[in-house]
Amino acid sequence: MYWIAGLPYFCLTLVLKASRIEDYYDPAIRLIHIIKQIGTRILRGRSLRSVIFVFKKQYNRKILLILLMRAYFIPTMIIQVYGNLYTAVNITKRNYDDYAILSLLFFISAMLWLMDTINASLAYVIESRWIENRPRSIDMTVSGWLVCLSCYAPLNMLTGTFFPWAPSVATDNQGDLVMGSVNLLYGLKIAEVLMLSAHIYTDVSLGPAVANITLRKLQTRGFYGIIRHPGTTLKLCYFLLSAIFFKAFWQFEFIFGYLAWSAIYILRALTEERHLKHDATYRDYMEKVKYRFIPYVF
């Protein structure tokens, strides 16, 4: 199969997309280089310390971290795809009585989340210089990884035990709202769909370059031309909107949980930016787009 499709693709890429920089970021080439360094040291009878030193070189650690990142996020994202697909299918089987529009709104929300996770999955599964989504760098700090992974399974289960997840209070029962009105439920779901659509747009606008912990391709248009982290702002607004109109939210544990999760997501953006600003193009972007989360405020 490789000789039929892989080798011609590899040859065409080297000819039509030749780039010393891209070759440097090519994970296959970097991995071969690491194996070569180890093999050379072993054949020359070098000490074990000399072999271990190969893994201490920063550019070698970067490629190993990139492989580790993909090994973690590929199954994580695919599991989310199946979960969102199950939710979307299950919604079509639920009985909303006469609330046909409400059923449609729940279905649209599920499909939007499905679209987002499919796009993210493709970003991790497929990397190519043709679509400019190869990692150019990766966060090398423990704090950056911990803050990010605390939002994903299985670590998010531990995070959730300390900080209750506020959107979990949301139901499709109008009686659970602060005002038991079906019109409020309609308005809430419409507002959620609009907010979620804006959030998904920011992610999908990155195409297959969207990813955690890594720098791939900068997006400077749309919402990214207004603030540097629109995904964080829109996601936190969506989480608040989906919970704030329910009676159960107005308890200390859920209010505190929302604030704590907001702090985590803001820390994710800040640690990400700490890593990204090592790149000259991102520093130029920071000069053009001054604000991180709220235009003219923050």
pLDDT 10s digits, 174-191: 889 998 788 888 899 999
Can you read off the two tokens belonging to residue 188?
């809430």
Helical segments of the chain, H only? 7-16, 20-25, 27-43, 48-53, 58-93, 100-125, 142-149, 155-162, 182-204, 230-244, 252-276, 280-288
Are residues 215 and 264 in contact, defined by beta-carbon separation less than 8 angstroms?
Answer: no
pLDDT digits (tens, 9 = 90+) for 190-232: 999 999 999 999 988 888 888 889 888 888 888 999 999 999 9
Q: Bigger pLDDT: 28 or 170? A: 170
Residue 16: the pLDDT is 76
Amino acid identity for residue 277 in this structure:
K
Nearest alpha-carbon partner for 108 in 96, 120, 92? 92
Name the band, by pLDDT with cuts 50, 70 and 90, for residue 142.
very high
List phi, psi (to 5°) of 137.
-160, 170
List phi, psi (to 5°) of 71.
-60, -30
Taking the model in full, what pTM does it have?
Answer: 0.87
Residue 93: the pLDDT is 73
Are residues 65 and 211 in contact, defined by beta-carbon separation less than 8 angstroms?
Answer: no
Strand-pairing partners, residue 246, are 177
Side-chain half-sphere of 210: how many Cα atoms within 13 Å? 20
Q: Bigger pLDDT: 130 or 145? A: 145
Three-state secondary-structure class, residue 214? strand
Domain boundaries, the chain: 14-56, 57-288
Nearest alpha-carbon partner for 69 in 162, 135, 156? 135
Longest dimension (CA), the chain: 78
For residues 239, 242, 245, 249, the Cα torsion angle rounded to the nearest 10 degrees is: -60
